[in-house]
Amino acid sequence: MPTTTTAQLESFNPATGERVGSVPVTPVDEIPAIVARAREAQKAWGAKTAQERADIIRPAGQALADRADELGELLTREMGKPLAEGVGECRGCGEGLGDEVNEIAKAVTPETLDGESVQTTLYHDPLGVCAAITPWNFPIAMPHWSVLPALVTGNTCVLKPSEQTPLIAQAYVDVLNEVLPEGVLQIIHGEDDQGKALVAADIDLISFTGSKTAGQHIMRSAAGGLKRLILELGSKDPLIVLEGADLDAAATFAARNTFRNCGQVCVSTERIYVQDSVKDVFMDKLIEQSKTYSVGDGMSEGTVVGPMIDENQKRHVLDQVQDAMSKGAKVVFGGEARDGAFISPTVLDGVTHEMDIMRTETFGPIACVAGVKDAAEAIELANDTEYGLGGAVFGTDEQARSVARQLTAGMVGVNRGLGGAPGSPWVGAKQSGYSYHSGPMGHRQFCQVRVVSEAKAE
Ligand code: NAD
């Protein structure tokens, strides 16, 4: 658990409780001046072309990739995920940066529309100053997803990373600032108060990734200034497994997508609906898979599942399991008590929508399995949620495709996870999000479209 003193935000290793380091807390009353600096810097930055901005940022990709081992270790010590995943997150951001900045620059190239007597040019201009407010579960990737499009489209950016992972966010910003002009990317540290002060400051867009509750608060606060919003919020993603599915593939996916990052992923599988005729076989395979998810310190060899981010999050998950068991669910794998922030990957059978664990985001390594008689019942239950970020359907290709189209989620995978082809936006439906990012459509959300028309020459 981080604790603030008057001046320092302390960061602790969730696996060991050891102090990893600290950063100075940004005084709330300094935030308007930080934003004013960003606005001043935006004049020169926004006057460059998108391609010029992409070229300035590009060398930071190599620097991130070159330092992936060192940054990944810091990430793991601060957040807990296994070292290979920490290093992979840093390397992935670095190695993908070159293509990403090119894609963003291309997305905002002016477009021409031709009418019979009129010609129109669509410009994708910067908005001004963007706030990026991010969570701890992918503590480099989440800032990266907001900061890069904000900057390449010509905005300047103030990042407020999670108070749980300030050190890795600071390291990321330091790498980018080796190539960026002063004031283009700044970082502030602290808890909710710093986030609230940033939202209230003179900014033009808030790109927020985090919980629904904070997203709602931000939306209310932004209303006065009609500030633009990108809200990437929580979810309760379903997995549907139907007769005719490759049950080995479905069980492998179910385990990986439930237990990865200790379940602390916005698109984790949080609910599993399995057709009764294949449920027993699927369950056996899921339990076999679950045995391979060994829990431990992310720095230790062989660890597949690290700790939860802190003991509060662990308590929330265990309370949900307890509530489910008191209403009739059975633990068929895992469930044993562990010290500290660790929690056992667990499989629950017989869950229903009367249980909190099937309605409220869990964000933990709990596979919740319910039997359904057919695809229609699976669709009805899968859609019985206020959320709608992702989902997956395993079955015969034709049936799985048809079921996928009937799910009210933003992104669905058919016989696979939901990751889309290059250019796909990352998009939530219902209360999982408002607006979206990634892909050309997402990059343009950081822009003001301007429409300039003139008569065609006779
Ligand atoms: P959180 O909402 O508690 O905090 C996120 C960030 O917002 C932090 O930096 C925090 O300090 C700040 N913050 C909190 N309240 C604020 C307020 N009122 N105004 C301004 N800033 C505020 O979320 P978390 O616990 O860090 O992250 C977990 C959540 O993030 C989960 O719900 C998860 O599903 C979601 N998430 C969503 C996506 C997505 O793509 N949809 C991706 C990753 C995580």
Alpha helices in 164-246 (DSSP H): 166-177, 192-200, 212-223
* Ligand 1 nearest atom to the CA of residue 266, by list position: 34
pLDDT (mean) for 73-88:
98
User: Three-class SS of residue 137?
Assistant: coil
Q: What is the mean pLDDT of the chain?
A: 97
Q: Is 287 exposed, middle or buried (0-12, 13-18, 19+ CB in 10 A)?
A: middle
Q: What angle do CA 95, 98, 100 make, to 5 degrees?
A: 100
Pair 39, 169 in one domain: yes
What is the percentage of the chain residues whose pLDDT exceeds 90?
97
Residue 278 C-alpha to ligand 1 middle, in angstroms? 37
Name the residue with the closest Cα to ligand 1, atom 35.
210
Cβ(238)–Cβ(273) under 8 Å?
yes
The pLDDT value recorded for residue 457 is: 83
Pair 91, 41 in one domain: yes
Q: Is the distance from the beta carbon of residue 232 to the nearest atom of ligand 1 less than 6 Å? A: yes
pLDDT (mean) for 132-143:
98
Cβ(342)–Cβ(307) under 8 Å?
yes
Pair 84, 177 in one domain: yes
The pLDDT value recorded for residue 47 is: 98
Q: What is the pLDDT of residues 44-57, one digit of tens each?
A: 999 999 999 999 99
Residue 427 C-alpha to ligand 1 middle, in angstroms? 16
In whole angstroms, what is the distance from residue 38 CA to residue 185 CA? Answer: 8
Cβ(306)–Cβ(80) under 8 Å?
yes
Tokens at 449, concatenated: 């479209």
Pair 213, 119 in one domain: yes
Domain presence at residue 3: no
Task: State how many domains the chain has.
Answer: 2
pLDDT higher than threshold 70 for residue 66: yes
The pLDDT value recorded for residue 458 is: 76
Would you give the end-to-end CA distance of the chain in angstroms?
70
Residue 241, number of CB atoms within 10 A of its CB: 29
In the beta sheet, which residues pair with residue 118? 455
The pLDDT value recorded for residue 127 is: 98
Say which amino acid occupies 114. D
Residue 360 C-alpha to ligand 1 middle, in angstroms? 15
Pair 173, 50 in one domain: yes
Pair 248, 105 in one domain: no
pLDDT higher than threshold 50 for residue 374: yes
The pLDDT value recorded for residue 390 is: 98
Q: Which domain holds residue 362?
A: 237-419
The model scores a pTM over 0.85:
yes
| Phi-psi domain of 62 (left: phi exceeds 0; alpha: psi -120 through 50; beta: other) | alpha
Q: Which one of 1, 130, 133 would you pick to mutate in the ligand 1 pocket, going by the greatest count of ligand atoms within 8 A of its CB?
A: 133
Domain presence at residue 105: yes
Name the residue with the closest Cα to ligand 1, atom 21.
195
pLDDT higher than threshold 50 for residue 146: yes
Q: Is 457 exposed, middle or buried (0-12, 13-18, 19+ CB in 10 A)?
A: exposed
Q: Is the distance from the beta carbon of residue 361 to the nearest atom of ligand 1 less than 6 Å? A: yes
Say which amino acid occupies 56. I
Q: Is the distance from the beta carbon of residue 133 to the nearest atom of ligand 1 less than 6 Å? A: yes
Distances (CA, A) of 296 to 268, 334, 337: 20, 14, 14
Catalytic center residues: 232, 266
Say which amino acid occupies 50. A
Q: Is the distance from the beta carbon of residue 9 to the nearest atom of ligand 1 less than 6 Å? A: no
Residue 170, number of CB atoms within 10 A of its CB: 18
Say which amino acid occupies 255. A
In whole angstroms, what is the distance from residue 284 CA to residue 324 CA? Answer: 21
pLDDT higher than threshold 90 for residue 304: yes
Domain presence at residue 1: no
Residue 193 C-alpha to ligand 1 middle, in angstroms? 13
In whole angstroms, what is the distance from residue 251 CA to residue 424 CA? Answer: 26
pLDDT higher than threshold 70 for residue 235: yes
Q: What is the CATH number of the domain that holds 108?
A: 3.40.605.10
Which one, of 384, 456, 438, lies nearest residue 104 by Cα?
438
Q: Which one of 162, 203, 217 would you pick to mutate in the ligand 1 pocket, going by the greatest count of ligand atoms within 8 A of its CB?
A: 162
Q: Is the distance from the beta carbon of residue 435 to the nearest atom of ligand 1 less than 6 Å? A: no
Q: Is the distance from the beta carbon of residue 409 to the nearest atom of ligand 1 less than 6 Å? A: no
Q: Is the distance from the beta carbon of residue 211 to the nearest atom of ligand 1 less than 6 Å? A: yes
Q: What is the pLDDT of residues 1-32, one digit of tens each?
A: 555 446 899 999 999 999 999 999 999 999 99
Q: Is the distance from the beta carbon of residue 145 to the nearest atom of ligand 1 less than 6 Å? A: no
Three-state secondary structure string covering 13-53 = CCCCCCEEEEEECCCHHHHHHHHHHHHHHHHHHHHCCHHHH
Q: Is the distance from the beta carbon of residue 162 to the nearest atom of ligand 1 less than 6 Å? A: yes
Pair 225, 264 in one domain: no
Cβ(367)–Cβ(254) under 8 Å?
yes
Pair 326, 376 in one domain: yes
Domain presence at residue 55: yes
The pLDDT value recorded for residue 5 is: 46
Cβ(105)–Cβ(54) under 8 Å?
yes
Q: What is the pLDDT of residues 194-220, one digit of tens each?
A: 999 999 999 999 999 999 999 999 999
For the chain, the helix, strand and coil percentages under 3-state DSSP, each to the nearest 5: 45, 20, 35
- pLDDT band, very low/low/confident/very high, at 414 (cuts 50, 70, 90): very high
Q: Which one of 9, 79, 162, 211 would you pick to mutate in the ligand 1 pocket, going by the greatest count of ligand atoms within 8 A of its CB?
A: 211
Cβ(214)–Cβ(136) under 8 Å?
no
Q: Is 458 exposed, middle or buried (0-12, 13-18, 19+ CB in 10 A)?
A: exposed
Pair 62, 143 in one domain: yes
Q: What is the pLDDT of residues 247-270, one digit of tens each?
A: 999 999 999 999 999 999 999 999
Cβ(168)–Cβ(64) under 8 Å?
no
Domain presence at residue 425: no
Domain presence at residue 312: yes
DSSP calls for 251-273: HHHHHHHHHGGGG--TT-EEEEE
The pLDDT value recorded for residue 417 is: 95
Pair 53, 13 in one domain: yes
Cβ(363)–Cβ(259) under 8 Å?
no
Q: What is the CATH number of the domain that holds 380?
A: 3.40.309.10
Pair 59, 117 in one domain: yes
In whole angstroms, what is the distance from residue 98 CA to residue 57 CA? Answer: 8
Domain presence at residue 79: yes
Pair 227, 243 in one domain: no
Which one, of 85, 64, 222, lies nearest residue 147 by Cα?
64
Residue 449 C-alpha to ligand 1 middle, in angstroms? 28
Domain presence at residue 406: yes
Q: What DSSP state is assigned to residue 336? A: -
User: Three-class SS of residue 146?
Assistant: helix
Which one, of 238, 308, 223, 236, lies nearest residue 273 by Cα?
238
